[in-house]
A = this chain, B = another copy of it.
Amino acid sequence: MTNLPREFALIEKYFRPLAGPAGLALADDAAILPAIPGREWVISVDAMVAGVHFLADDPPDLIARKLLRVNLSDLAAMAAQPFGYLLTLAAPVTTPESWFAGFAAGLAEDQARFGIALLGGDTTATPGPLMLSLTIFGEVAAGRALRRAGAQPGDEVWVSGTIGDAVLGLLARRGELADPSGALLRRYLLPEPRLSLPLAGIARAGADISDGLVQDLGHLCRAGGIGAVIEAQAVPLSPAAREAGSDYLARCLTGGDDYELVLAVPPDRAAALQAAAATSGVAVTRIGHFRADPARVVVLDAEGGEMALGPGGWSHF
Protein backbone atom coordinates (compact mmCIF):
# COMPACT_ATOMS: atom_id res chain seq x y z
CA MET A 1 0.00 0.00 0.00
CA THR A 2 2.14 2.81 -1.24
CA ASN A 3 -0.75 5.24 -1.55
CA LEU A 4 -1.78 5.52 2.06
CA PRO A 5 -4.92 7.56 2.48
CA ARG A 6 -4.52 10.92 4.17
CA GLU A 7 -5.67 9.70 7.57
CA PHE A 8 -2.92 7.11 7.78
CA ALA A 9 -0.32 9.50 6.39
CA LEU A 10 -1.16 12.10 9.04
CA ILE A 11 -0.97 9.51 11.81
CA GLU A 12 2.32 8.22 10.45
CA LYS A 13 3.91 11.64 10.16
CA TYR A 14 2.60 13.53 13.17
CA PHE A 15 1.25 11.13 15.76
CA ARG A 16 3.38 7.97 15.62
CA PRO A 17 6.46 9.92 16.79
CA LEU A 18 4.49 10.85 19.93
CA ALA A 19 3.74 7.25 20.90
CA GLY A 20 5.40 5.64 23.90
CA PRO A 21 6.11 1.93 24.42
CA ALA A 22 2.61 1.27 25.81
CA GLY A 23 1.13 2.70 22.62
CA LEU A 24 2.58 -0.22 20.66
CA ALA A 25 3.71 2.31 18.00
CA LEU A 26 -0.03 2.96 17.34
CA ALA A 27 0.13 -0.17 15.17
CA ASP A 28 -2.46 -2.18 17.10
CA ASP A 29 -6.18 -2.01 17.67
CA ALA A 30 -5.60 -1.05 21.28
CA ALA A 31 -2.86 -0.14 23.73
CA ILE A 32 -1.77 -2.05 26.81
CA LEU A 33 -1.34 -0.49 30.24
CA PRO A 34 1.38 -2.29 32.16
CA ALA A 35 0.46 -3.63 35.58
CA ILE A 36 2.48 -1.73 38.22
CA PRO A 37 2.56 -3.57 41.56
CA GLY A 38 0.85 -1.62 44.32
CA ARG A 39 -0.44 1.06 41.99
CA GLU A 40 -3.79 1.58 40.33
CA TRP A 41 -4.84 3.50 37.25
CA VAL A 42 -6.74 6.78 37.38
CA ILE A 43 -8.55 7.66 34.16
CA SER A 44 -10.46 10.67 32.94
CA VAL A 45 -11.68 12.22 29.70
CA ASP A 46 -12.23 15.84 28.70
CA ALA A 47 -13.32 17.20 25.35
CA MET A 48 -12.89 20.56 23.64
CA VAL A 49 -14.89 21.90 20.70
CA ALA A 50 -13.91 24.82 18.45
CA GLY A 51 -16.27 27.73 19.04
CA VAL A 52 -17.14 26.44 22.53
CA HIS A 53 -13.88 25.84 24.38
CA PHE A 54 -11.47 27.58 22.02
CA LEU A 55 -11.48 29.55 18.80
CA ALA A 56 -10.84 27.68 15.57
CA ASP A 57 -7.95 30.01 14.71
CA ASP A 58 -6.21 29.74 18.09
CA PRO A 59 -2.62 28.57 17.64
CA PRO A 60 -2.84 24.77 17.27
CA ASP A 61 0.05 24.14 19.65
CA LEU A 62 -1.78 26.04 22.39
CA ILE A 63 -5.00 24.12 21.69
CA ALA A 64 -3.07 20.86 22.07
CA ARG A 65 -1.38 21.95 25.27
CA LYS A 66 -4.61 23.19 26.86
CA LEU A 67 -6.33 19.92 25.94
CA LEU A 68 -3.56 17.96 27.63
CA ARG A 69 -3.47 20.25 30.64
CA VAL A 70 -7.18 20.26 31.46
CA ASN A 71 -6.94 16.47 31.53
CA LEU A 72 -3.72 16.48 33.54
CA SER A 73 -5.52 18.72 36.00
CA ASP A 74 -8.02 15.93 36.64
CA LEU A 75 -5.10 13.71 37.60
CA ALA A 76 -3.71 16.42 39.88
CA ALA A 77 -7.12 16.58 41.57
CA MET A 78 -6.88 12.85 42.29
CA ALA A 79 -3.22 13.13 43.45
CA ALA A 80 -2.21 10.82 40.59
CA GLN A 81 0.96 10.90 38.48
CA PRO A 82 0.50 11.16 34.70
CA PHE A 83 1.41 8.26 32.40
CA GLY A 84 -0.10 8.79 28.94
CA TYR A 85 -3.18 9.55 26.88
CA LEU A 86 -5.51 8.52 24.09
CA LEU A 87 -6.58 11.18 21.60
CA THR A 88 -9.69 11.58 19.46
CA LEU A 89 -9.42 14.22 16.77
CA ALA A 90 -12.37 15.06 14.50
CA ALA A 91 -11.25 17.68 12.01
CA PRO A 92 -12.87 19.43 9.04
CA VAL A 93 -11.49 18.03 5.77
CA THR A 94 -10.21 21.50 4.97
CA THR A 95 -7.82 21.46 7.96
CA PRO A 96 -4.38 22.27 6.50
CA GLU A 97 -1.44 20.01 7.22
CA SER A 98 0.31 22.91 8.96
CA TRP A 99 -2.41 22.76 11.61
CA PHE A 100 -1.60 19.12 12.37
CA ALA A 101 2.10 19.96 12.48
CA GLY A 102 1.48 22.72 15.03
CA PHE A 103 -0.91 20.60 17.06
CA ALA A 104 1.57 17.70 17.24
CA ALA A 105 4.38 20.12 18.19
CA GLY A 106 2.27 21.34 21.12
CA LEU A 107 1.61 17.78 22.24
CA ALA A 108 5.31 16.97 21.97
CA GLU A 109 6.28 19.99 24.07
CA ASP A 110 3.94 19.15 26.93
CA GLN A 111 4.58 15.40 26.67
CA ALA A 112 8.21 16.18 27.45
CA ARG A 113 7.29 18.59 30.22
CA PHE A 114 4.95 16.19 31.99
CA GLY A 115 6.71 12.92 31.16
CA ILE A 116 3.86 11.30 29.24
CA ALA A 117 3.32 9.69 25.83
CA LEU A 118 0.56 9.10 23.33
CA LEU A 119 -1.00 5.65 23.75
CA GLY A 120 -3.38 5.60 20.77
CA GLY A 121 -6.31 7.41 19.28
CA ASP A 122 -8.79 7.89 16.52
CA THR A 123 -8.85 10.51 13.80
CA THR A 124 -11.86 11.24 11.66
CA ALA A 125 -13.27 13.91 9.41
CA THR A 126 -16.25 15.96 10.54
CA PRO A 127 -18.57 18.30 8.66
CA GLY A 128 -18.66 20.38 11.86
CA PRO A 129 -16.08 22.27 13.89
CA LEU A 130 -12.85 20.78 15.13
CA MET A 131 -13.56 18.52 18.10
CA LEU A 132 -11.01 16.99 20.41
CA SER A 133 -11.39 14.43 23.16
CA LEU A 134 -8.52 13.24 25.31
CA THR A 135 -8.47 10.33 27.75
CA ILE A 136 -5.74 10.70 30.35
CA PHE A 137 -4.09 7.87 32.30
CA GLY A 138 -2.35 8.36 35.61
CA GLU A 139 -1.27 6.08 38.40
CA VAL A 140 -1.47 6.30 42.15
CA ALA A 141 -0.65 4.09 45.12
CA ALA A 142 -3.57 1.69 45.53
CA GLY A 143 -6.29 3.24 47.66
CA ARG A 144 -4.54 6.61 47.89
CA ALA A 145 -6.33 8.56 45.15
CA LEU A 146 -7.75 11.85 46.40
CA ARG A 147 -11.52 11.94 46.06
CA ARG A 148 -14.19 14.61 46.13
CA ALA A 149 -15.80 12.91 49.10
CA GLY A 150 -14.06 12.97 52.47
CA ALA A 151 -14.16 16.57 53.67
CA GLN A 152 -15.15 16.86 57.36
CA PRO A 153 -16.67 19.79 59.24
CA GLY A 154 -13.75 21.75 60.64
CA ASP A 155 -11.46 20.98 57.71
CA GLU A 156 -10.01 24.07 56.12
CA VAL A 157 -10.64 25.09 52.50
CA TRP A 158 -7.37 25.68 50.65
CA VAL A 159 -6.77 26.62 47.04
CA SER A 160 -3.65 26.55 44.90
CA GLY A 161 -2.41 29.45 42.80
CA THR A 162 -4.68 32.39 42.02
CA ILE A 163 -8.38 32.29 41.24
CA GLY A 164 -10.33 33.91 38.42
CA ASP A 165 -7.59 34.77 35.96
CA ALA A 166 -8.93 32.45 33.28
CA VAL A 167 -12.45 33.84 33.23
CA LEU A 168 -11.03 37.37 33.13
CA GLY A 169 -8.75 36.23 30.31
CA LEU A 170 -11.82 35.10 28.39
CA LEU A 171 -13.43 38.51 28.99
CA ALA A 172 -10.22 40.16 27.79
CA ARG A 173 -10.26 38.06 24.64
CA ARG A 174 -13.82 39.25 23.99
CA GLY A 175 -12.69 42.85 24.39
CA GLU A 176 -14.72 43.31 27.58
CA LEU A 177 -11.73 43.85 29.85
CA ALA A 178 -8.28 45.41 29.49
CA ASP A 179 -5.37 42.99 29.80
CA PRO A 180 -2.34 45.11 28.97
CA SER A 181 0.24 42.51 30.06
CA GLY A 182 -1.62 39.60 28.44
CA ALA A 183 -1.30 37.74 31.76
CA LEU A 184 -5.01 36.99 32.03
CA LEU A 185 -5.33 35.65 28.48
CA ARG A 186 -2.25 33.47 28.99
CA ARG A 187 -3.85 31.88 32.03
CA TYR A 188 -6.99 31.16 29.98
CA LEU A 189 -5.07 29.68 27.08
CA LEU A 190 -2.53 27.66 29.02
CA PRO A 191 -3.53 26.44 32.48
CA GLU A 192 -0.96 24.91 34.80
CA PRO A 193 -2.00 21.51 36.18
CA ARG A 194 -0.90 21.33 39.82
CA LEU A 195 0.73 17.92 39.55
CA SER A 196 3.80 18.83 41.57
CA LEU A 197 1.89 19.40 44.81
CA PRO A 198 2.17 16.21 46.92
CA LEU A 199 -1.25 15.79 48.54
CA ALA A 200 -1.23 12.20 49.79
CA GLY A 201 -1.67 12.15 53.54
CA ILE A 202 -2.36 15.88 53.59
CA ALA A 203 -5.63 16.67 51.80
CA ARG A 204 -8.74 14.75 52.81
CA ALA A 205 -10.68 15.63 49.63
CA GLY A 206 -10.04 17.66 46.52
CA ALA A 207 -11.16 18.76 43.07
CA ASP A 208 -9.76 20.88 40.32
CA ILE A 209 -11.44 24.19 39.57
CA SER A 210 -12.77 23.75 36.07
CA ASP A 211 -16.35 24.99 36.52
CA GLY A 212 -15.54 27.77 38.99
CA LEU A 213 -14.35 27.94 42.60
CA VAL A 214 -17.81 28.13 44.15
CA GLN A 215 -19.22 25.33 42.01
CA ASP A 216 -16.25 22.99 42.44
CA LEU A 217 -16.15 23.65 46.18
CA GLY A 218 -19.85 22.82 46.01
CA HIS A 219 -18.90 19.43 44.55
CA LEU A 220 -16.76 18.72 47.62
CA CYS A 221 -19.63 19.81 49.87
CA ARG A 222 -22.21 17.65 48.07
CA ALA A 223 -19.89 14.63 48.04
CA GLY A 224 -19.36 15.05 51.80
CA GLY A 225 -22.94 16.01 52.66
CA ILE A 226 -21.68 19.18 54.34
CA GLY A 227 -21.25 22.91 53.66
CA ALA A 228 -18.44 25.42 53.50
CA VAL A 229 -17.96 29.10 54.18
CA ILE A 230 -15.25 31.10 52.48
CA GLU A 231 -14.16 34.74 52.74
CA ALA A 232 -14.05 36.52 49.40
CA GLN A 233 -11.23 38.73 50.66
CA ALA A 234 -9.10 35.69 51.41
CA VAL A 235 -9.35 34.26 47.89
CA PRO A 236 -5.95 34.77 46.23
CA LEU A 237 -6.09 37.02 43.16
CA SER A 238 -3.27 37.73 40.76
CA PRO A 239 -2.02 41.32 40.35
CA ALA A 240 -3.79 41.44 36.97
CA ALA A 241 -7.08 40.28 38.50
CA ARG A 242 -6.78 42.84 41.35
CA GLU A 243 -6.27 45.51 38.71
CA ALA A 244 -9.60 44.57 37.13
CA GLY A 245 -11.24 45.84 40.29
CA SER A 246 -13.82 44.65 42.79
CA ASP A 247 -16.59 44.68 40.18
CA TYR A 248 -15.05 41.49 38.82
CA LEU A 249 -14.66 39.68 42.14
CA ALA A 250 -17.86 37.65 41.80
CA ARG A 251 -16.80 36.61 38.29
CA CYS A 252 -13.48 35.40 39.65
CA LEU A 253 -15.23 33.29 42.28
CA THR A 254 -17.63 31.61 39.84
CA GLY A 255 -15.74 31.65 36.53
CA GLY A 256 -14.38 28.43 35.10
CA ASP A 257 -11.12 27.26 33.55
CA ASP A 258 -8.72 28.08 36.41
CA TYR A 259 -7.52 24.49 36.84
CA GLU A 260 -6.28 25.28 40.31
CA LEU A 261 -7.03 22.83 43.11
CA VAL A 262 -9.57 23.28 45.91
CA LEU A 263 -8.75 21.08 48.91
CA ALA A 264 -10.14 19.99 52.25
CA VAL A 265 -7.27 19.97 54.75
CA PRO A 266 -7.57 19.21 58.49
CA PRO A 267 -6.16 22.13 60.52
CA ASP A 268 -3.37 19.98 61.95
CA ARG A 269 -2.09 19.23 58.45
CA ALA A 270 -2.02 22.86 57.27
CA ALA A 271 1.67 23.18 58.08
CA ALA A 272 2.43 20.03 56.09
CA LEU A 273 0.51 21.47 53.13
CA GLN A 274 2.44 24.72 53.33
CA ALA A 275 5.74 22.85 53.51
CA ALA A 276 4.76 20.72 50.49
CA ALA A 277 3.70 23.83 48.61
CA ALA A 278 6.98 25.58 49.34
CA THR A 279 8.92 22.57 48.07
CA SER A 280 6.92 22.33 44.88
CA GLY A 281 6.81 26.05 44.18
CA VAL A 282 3.01 26.16 44.11
CA ALA A 283 1.35 28.82 46.27
CA VAL A 284 -1.50 27.67 48.53
CA THR A 285 -3.97 29.83 50.43
CA ARG A 286 -6.51 29.10 53.16
CA ILE A 287 -9.83 30.72 52.23
CA GLY A 288 -12.36 29.25 54.66
CA HIS A 289 -13.57 26.08 56.29
CA PHE A 290 -16.09 23.29 55.98
CA ARG A 291 -19.03 23.05 58.39
CA ALA A 292 -21.97 20.77 58.86
CA ASP A 293 -24.71 23.38 58.23
CA PRO A 294 -25.96 24.76 55.97
CA ALA A 295 -25.02 22.14 53.36
CA ARG A 296 -24.03 24.67 50.72
CA VAL A 297 -21.26 27.12 49.88
CA VAL A 298 -21.53 30.52 51.56
CA VAL A 299 -19.23 33.34 50.45
CA LEU A 300 -18.72 36.20 52.90
CA ASP A 301 -17.87 39.71 51.72
CA ALA A 302 -15.49 42.14 53.45
CA GLU A 303 -18.25 43.18 55.85
CA GLY A 304 -19.06 39.58 56.80
CA GLY A 305 -22.34 39.54 54.89
CA GLU A 306 -23.24 36.82 52.41
CA MET A 307 -22.31 37.71 48.84
CA ALA A 308 -24.95 37.23 46.17
CA LEU A 309 -23.20 35.44 43.32
CA GLY A 310 -26.00 34.63 40.93
CA PRO A 311 -26.07 31.14 39.48
CA GLY A 312 -22.76 29.51 40.42
CA GLY A 313 -20.75 27.67 37.86
CA TRP A 314 -21.83 27.03 34.34
CA SER A 315 -23.00 24.42 31.89
CA HIS A 316 -21.94 23.74 28.34
CA PHE A 317 -25.51 22.83 27.43
- Which chain B positions have C-beta within 8 A of A183? none
Check if B30 sits within 8 Å of A148, measured CB to CB: no
Residue of B nearest to A31 (CB): B43
Residue of B nearest to A143 (CB): B32
A42 within 8 A of B: yes
A302 within 8 A of B: no
Chain A residues 123-175 with CB under 8 Å of chain B are 123-129, 131, 133, 135-138, 140, 142, 145, 147-149
Chain A interfacial residues counted at CB < 8 A: 82
Q: How far is the CB of A31 from chain B (nearest CB, A)?
A: 5
Check if B88 sits within 8 Å of A28, measured CB to CB: no
Chain A residues 87-104 with CB under 8 Å of chain B are 87-88, 90-91, 93
Q: How far, in whole Å, are A137 and B314 apart by their CA atoms in the complex? A: 30
A253 within 8 A of B: no
Q: How far, in whole Å, are A52 and B135 apart by their CA atoms in the complex? A: 22
Interface residues of A (CB under 8 A from B): 1, 3, 5-8, 10, 24, 27-36, 38-49, 51-53, 74-75, 77-78, 80, 86-88, 90-91, 93, 119-129, 131, 133, 135-138, 140, 142, 145, 147-149, 207-208, 215, 218-219, 222-223, 296, 311-317
